[in-house]
């Protein structure tokens, strides 16, 4: 049985070579999914189709049992302004060549979201970002505003949908989908599972990792820091975005701006941090929370995303509710003033979190769904 997966996978990130954020890809859960597909026994012939912006020849390589096709010269921003008409044309050609029994498309914020609507057989759509929900808390770039308007059509065209969290599934249901989405957690990369958390009790460091934007709550973080000018701990910021200039202009002491880092530099930063702060206003995951938890970092989290289910207040982190600057400042002060609490929260539920975010579970879940969709009774 042939499965064609349309996704933004980084081929050079397979087999333990993942470079992570800053390495040319954002879908950091996909390399380990492909690796697990390779390791597990299953009856499916899997072909991945991705796109790249650079001009040149298309690429077609085989790594182990899986095939990876790269379509070159693909401008996703322009394509969305064309309502994905160009993507549909190119994807139809690939589908005609492969003749898959099932298509699996990843992301309504990517042109791949058009695939279920152009394929006549069973289609699976995995939601990566809930653009309709995101647009309610922050202004999106023009092409993503267009994508958000197309999102209801994209999700309704799919035979079946998966989301990485119950929060994400709730947002998708509001769009009038045919069936209730399946919740499939995206596993953390083994590099994070293998890392040892070693915070220094004499060097209190809190980490923020993500886009420096309103949706991620970075403005709230800056406002909260202004409420605790006499803090004795350091905030280290991993990531870039439109609010970086505003954050630097605030002139707050004790902030180190690291920019976007590859995993080879991100993991050492996480290993020495006391905790991670994630004041997001809307997020299907986020992945960095899973990476933090499989390592052992406690997380200061909001309830506005999948992380509401990952972090239990007073158990493996602290919840900020309601999400505002005073509440966030209070949570950071409580965590960063008590190293014993840091260790207790970090170790609590660690084994359960490591099991929950094991990428093997993600792969098994998708293989099960493929089998259910291709079973004779499903056709």
**SS3 assignment for 130-184:** CHHHHCCCCCCCHHHHHHHHHHHHHHHHCCEEEECCHHHHHHHHCCCCCCCCEEC
Q: Quick count: other Cβ atoms within 10 Å of Cβ 308?
A: 18
Q: Quick count: other Cβ atoms within 10 Å of Cβ 118?
A: 17
**Do residues 284 and 168 lie in contact, with contact meaning Cβ atoms separated by under 8 Å?**
yes
Task: Give the pLDDT confidence of 275-302 residue by residue, as tens digits.
Answer: 999 999 999 999 999 999 999 999 999 9
First to last CA, the chain: 14
pLDDT at 377 over 80: no
Task: Give the pLDDT confidence of 218-251 residue by residue, as tens digits.
Answer: 999 999 999 999 999 999 999 999 999 999 999 9
pTM: 0.93
Task: Give the pLDDT confidence of 154-213 residue by residue, as tens digits.
Answer: 999 999 999 999 999 999 999 999 789 999 999 998 899 999 999 999 999 999 999 999
Cβ neighbors of 119 (< 8 A, separation 6 or more) are 95, 100, 103
Q: Quick count: other Cβ atoms within 10 Å of Cβ 376?
A: 5
Q: What is the pLDDT of residue 17?
A: 52
**Token digits for 282?**
């809307």
Q: What is the mean predicted confidence (pLDDT) over 127-149?
A: 94
Query: pLDDT band at 11, cuts 50/70/90?
Result: confident
* CA 43 to the chain's CA centroid: 28
Q: What is the pLDDT of residue 259?
A: 94
List of domains in the chain: 2-187+358-378 (3.40.50.2000), 190-356 (3.40.50.2000)
Rounded Cα–Cα distance for residues 289 and 278 (Å): 8
pLDDT at 77 over 80: yes
């Amino acid at each position: 049985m042939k499965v064609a997966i349309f996704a933004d996978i980084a081929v050079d990130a397979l087999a333990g070579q993942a470079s992570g954020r800053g390495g040319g890809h954002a879908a950091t859960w996909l390399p380990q999914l492909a690796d697990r597909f390779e390791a597990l026994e299953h009856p499916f012939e899997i072909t991945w189709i991705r796109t790249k912006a650079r001009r040149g020849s298309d690429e077609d390589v085989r790594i182990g049992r899986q095939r990876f096709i790269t379509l070159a010269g693909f401008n996703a921003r322009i394509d969305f302004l064309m309502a994905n008409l160009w993507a549909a044309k190119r994807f139809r050609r690939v589908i005609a060549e492969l003749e898959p029994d099932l298509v699996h498309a990843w992301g309504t914020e990517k042109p791949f979201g058009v695939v279920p609507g152009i394929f006549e057989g069973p289609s699976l759509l995995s939601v990566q970002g809930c653009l309709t929900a995101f647009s309610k808390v922050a202004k999106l770039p023009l092409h993503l505003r267009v994508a958000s308007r197309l999102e209801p059509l994209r999700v309704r065209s799919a035979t079946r949908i998966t989301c990485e969290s119950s929060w994400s599934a709730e947002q998708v249901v509001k769009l009038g989908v045919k069936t209730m989405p399946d919740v499939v957690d995206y596993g953390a990369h083994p590099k994070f599972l293998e890392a040892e958390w070693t915070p220094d009790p004499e060097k209190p460091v809190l980490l923020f990792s993500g886009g420096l934007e309103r949706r991620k709550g970075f403005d709230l973080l800056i406002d909260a820091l202004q409420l605790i000018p006499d803090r004795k701990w350091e905030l280290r910021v991993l990531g870039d975005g439109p609010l970086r200039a505003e954050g630097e202009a605030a002139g707050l002491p004790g902030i180190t701006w690291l920019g976007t880092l590859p995993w080879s530099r991100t993991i050492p930063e996480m290993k020495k941090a006391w905790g991670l702060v994630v004041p997001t206003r809307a997020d299907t995951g986020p992945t960095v929370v899973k990476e933090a938890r499989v390592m052992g970092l406690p997380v200061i989290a909001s309830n506005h995303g999948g992380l509401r289910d990952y972090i239990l207040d007073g158990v493996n982190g602290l919840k900020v509710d309601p999400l505002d600057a005073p509440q966030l400042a209070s949570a950071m002060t409580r965590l960063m003033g008590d190293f014993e609490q840091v260790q207790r929260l970090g170790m609590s539920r660690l084994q359960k979190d490591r099991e929950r975010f094991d990428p093997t579970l993600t792969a098994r879940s998708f293989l099960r769904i493929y089998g259910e969709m291709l079973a004779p009774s499903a056709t």
